[in-house]
A = this chain, B = another copy of it.
Amino acid sequence: MAASNRQEIRTLAEQVFAQLQDDIVLGVLKPGTRLGEAELASRYGVSRGPLREAIRRLESRKLLQREPHVGARVASLTTDDLVEIYRVREALEGMAARLAAQHMTESEVQGLHDVLSQHEQQQDIKEDTAYFQREGDLDFHYRIIQGSHNQTLIDLLIGELYHLVRMYRYQFSAVTNRPQKALAEHRRIVEAIESGDGDLAEMLMRRHISRARENIELQTQNDSTNT
């Protein structure tokens, strides 16, 4: 539902790539797991050729780590890695918000409002906050990124970086402990985009992501002191 297989898949190598990626992101294959080629080949019902091509592509997306003559392992993200990623997100999504304020069409802005009101309802019904905190939050960010109409930016964020963010969320069942504030920030970002204020949109988006990063850093401190 969220955003997994965007384009039509035709070759076996691409199928294996998509399946293996999902299995890694969703946690079916746990971080650190050794991935033997023979084992994977039989698991997905293909030969080693297409499998190795899929592995190469997943390696360049940092979803698995490879070492020559040793093999591949499912990437295991540390919190430091995630903090690094959030710095990059801050820069790229800030730019995306700025460009979205300039280039978004009316229907795209309307779509933002739809997502927003959807989240507001789910906030009232407090039981299913998981949606907002997982893929729902990402839907909002996806739309703004797409709204930048900058294909390079879109590919970098959605094609490469976001899989790692999603993997982390599934790995640690990560939830934001400030859903109301986050939703309020989303609202103000949409207002800035709607009024075409690129400067403000970028600033608000950067703050929004920066706070999420600080939240991660804080939780890490608590974890280490409690342990």
**A residues with CB within 8 A of B:** 10-11, 13-14, 49, 52-53, 56-57, 60-62, 68-69, 81, 84-85, 87-88, 90-92, 94-95, 99, 150-153, 155-156, 160
A11-B69, A57-B57 known; 20 new pairs, CB 8 Å cut-off, are A10-B69, A14-B68, A49-B49, A52-B53, A53-B53, A53-B56, A56-B57, A60-B60, A81-B152, A84-B150, A84-B152, A87-B95, A87-B150, A87-B153, A88-B150, A90-B95, A91-B94, A92-B92, A156-B156, A156-B160
**In the complex with contacts A10-B68, A57-B60, A68-B10, A91-B84 CB distance below 8 A:** no
CA distance A10 to B69 in the complex (A): 10
Asked if B60 and A87 sit within 8 Å, CB to CB, the answer is no
Asked if A88 and B56 sit within 8 Å, CB to CB, the answer is no
B residues less than 8 Å from A61 (CB atoms): 60
Count of chain copies: 2
Say what secondary structure dominates the interface of chain A. helix
B residues less than 8 Å from A13 (CB atoms): 56
CA distance A121 to B160 in the complex (A): 41
Asked if B60 and A152 sit within 8 Å, CB to CB, the answer is no
B residues less than 8 Å from A62 (CB atoms): 155
Choose among B14, B68, B87, B95 the residue that contacts A88 (Cβ–Cβ < 8 A).
B95
B residues less than 8 Å from A52 (CB atoms): 49, 53
CA distance A36 to B163 in the complex (A): 32
B residues less than 8 Å from A49 (CB atoms): 49, 52
Q: How far is the CB of A32 from chain B (nearest CB, A)?
A: 19
CA distance A84 to B87 in the complex (A): 20
